[in-house]
Each structure stands twice: as C-alpha cells, then as structure tokens.
Amino acid sequence: MRAVVVGAGSWGTAFACLLRDNGHDVTLAARDPEQVDVIAATGRNPRYAQTADLAGVEAALLEEAPYADAELVAVAVPSRVFGDVVAGLPGDAPVLSLTKGLDPATGERLSTLVSGRPVAVLSGPNIADEIVRGLPAAAVVASDDLALAVRLQVAVNSVLFRVYVSDDIAGVELCAAAKNVIALAAGGADGLSLGDNSKAALVARGLAEMRRLAESAGARPDTFAGLAGMGDLIVTCWSPSGRNRRAGELIARGVRPDEAAAEIGMVVEGLTTAPVMRDLSHRLGIELPITEGVCAVLEGTSLADLVQQLMSRTPTTE
C-alpha cells in the first residue's frame, strides 16, 4: 500500500513506522521545511519521537506529499486544524483519522468533516513512545464501511500491533475524545495526592460519562468496555507519558493551562475538547459532571473546591 501520514508529531511518526514495518510505501508529511529536511537527512524526527528510526520513510512538506498516488491518507494532526487539513487533501484515497478529539468549531466528530471519500478511525491504548520502542499494543479501526475497516486491519495488523475491527465509528470517536477530558481530572487527582481510591472512582465514573455521551449518539455499549473505551481510558489516566494526565497534574499544582501545555511541549487535546464536550452534552440534554468540573477548573475554579462539590452531589444508583 502507498500511504501518506499527515502530521509528524509523536503519533504520526510512530504510525508511519508501523506502516513501514508492515512493508508499505510511506511518506510522512509535515508543515515545517526544517523538520522535513532533518528527517530526510538523518532518518530521525528532530522534535517528536526522536528515538524512532525513520529509515525507509520518505519525508515531504504537507502540500507536496504524493496524494495522487496514495491508497491511504492517515491524518494525525490536532483537532483544531483537522477540518482544514482534510478539506484541502487532493485525491480520493480513504482517510484514516488518528486524531482523538472533536471539532472545536462545530462540536462534530472529526470523521464527519471528511467528505467525498471513505473514512475510518483508529483508536486504542497507543502511547506513541511505547509503539516506537516495539512494545506490544492493540487498537481498533472503525468505519461505517466495514470492508474498508477490514482492509485497514489487514494493512496495519502485526505481531506487535494487534488490530480489531468495529463498525461503531461514533462510539470509538466519542470515547477517544472523552477519555482525554477524564485524564485531565485524573491528573488533577494525582496533583492533589488524593490517592488510588479516589482516582479509581473518578476513572470509573468517567467511563460512565463516556458511555452516557456516546450512547446518546447511538453508539453501542460494548464499545466502552473495549480498546477505544476502557483500554484507552486506563492508559491515558495512568501512564506517566500521558499528556492530558500530566497537564491535569500540573494544573492541580497551580500551573495555568496554557503554561502546562507549553511545559509539555505537545498538543494536549483534552484542553481543547473539554468545553466542546460540555457544549455537546448541553445540546444532548445529558449530565457530565466530571466534564463540567474540568471546564470549571480550566476557567479558574479551585480544584479543591471542585472535589468537594463532586463528593457532595446527591447519592444515586450506579
């Protein structure tokens, strides 16, 4: 397969290696000419996933990648620019979204912004650094076009990266977006040293929020117990490498959200997704108390006060 991976961040770089290792002809496309030149000259990404060996992966500027010959375009860019990027893609190759978020402008799932070509999404507990190190992992690829999902499963699956198939694209996308918001809260629990009991309870109730959100959009319950739901939520909330967890921890210790993102040095999708998800829940008429709380903290509410408010809510059935 001839593939273009758009976005040379950590996950785009790791995914390009996955495709290359499976025997595909891969081009990694980036916006920055200097980054492209360094990758082409050294086989290393100078900014992200720097230990990844990119030998055999071509590097190109975003506007110069060989889209006309591509049989797949995998998109790993921040959610805030996803719509503009896919709208400007030449050719008609299927798009595989690797981005975990919602469109800030419309509140829509990112796959809905792709028009005129088939689309699929890939999600799961996939910390890029571990993928680069060759540690075993698994993911799910979802599409309304099940035949496309199966083709992508065959193209990406390996003994180190096991791929499952789903036709619940709404559930997979919404889980992927929501887990980043819950991870901000989990990081806040770490920052306040609230202990494992409180963090586990928060994550469990976060999973309930993810389920409530996605079911309201017609998703299937079993998606939340799978890789895109529980699997990705667990690794995002506990991994020391998790950007959203780390951002929540820093914010709990008094760092402003923008300063936390700057210190991490990579996109923290939960900071963008939280208000979008809150607005979506209002439109759907559902309660997402953890998400509401995360937004309140991002807008200046004390995290300690938020914990008190959440613990003081009227008890109910599980």
Active site residues per annotation:
179
Q: Is 192 helix (H, G, I), strand (E, B) or coil?
A: coil
Torsion region of 114: left, alpha or beta (phi above 0 gives left; psi -120 to 50 gives alpha): beta
> How many helices and strands (H and E) does the chain possess?
13, 8
Torsion region of 78: left, alpha or beta (phi above 0 gives left; psi -120 to 50 gives alpha): beta
Output DSSP code: residue 109.
Answer: B
CA–CA distance, 142 with 121 (Å, rounded to integer) = 5
Kindly state the helix (H) or strand (E) to which residue 290 belongs, with its residue range: helix 289-298
Beta carbons within 10 angstroms of residue 135's beta carbon: 11
Hey, what are 188's tokens? 């806040």
Please list, residue by residue across 108-124, b when 16 or more beta carbons sit within 10 angstroms of its beta carbon and e when fewer do: ebbbebbeeebbbbbbb
At 110, phi and psi to the nearest 5? Answer: -65, -35
Hey, what are 96's tokens? 């595989």
For residue 186, give the nearest of 250, 248, 120, 228 by alpha carbon. Answer: 248
Kindly state the helix (H) or strand (E) to which residue 293 belongs, with its residue range: helix 289-298
CA–CA distance, 153 with 145 (Å, rounded to integer) = 13
CB burial of residue 25 (10 Å; 0-12, 13-18, 19+): middle
Q: Are 21 and 52 in contact (CB under 8 A)?
A: no
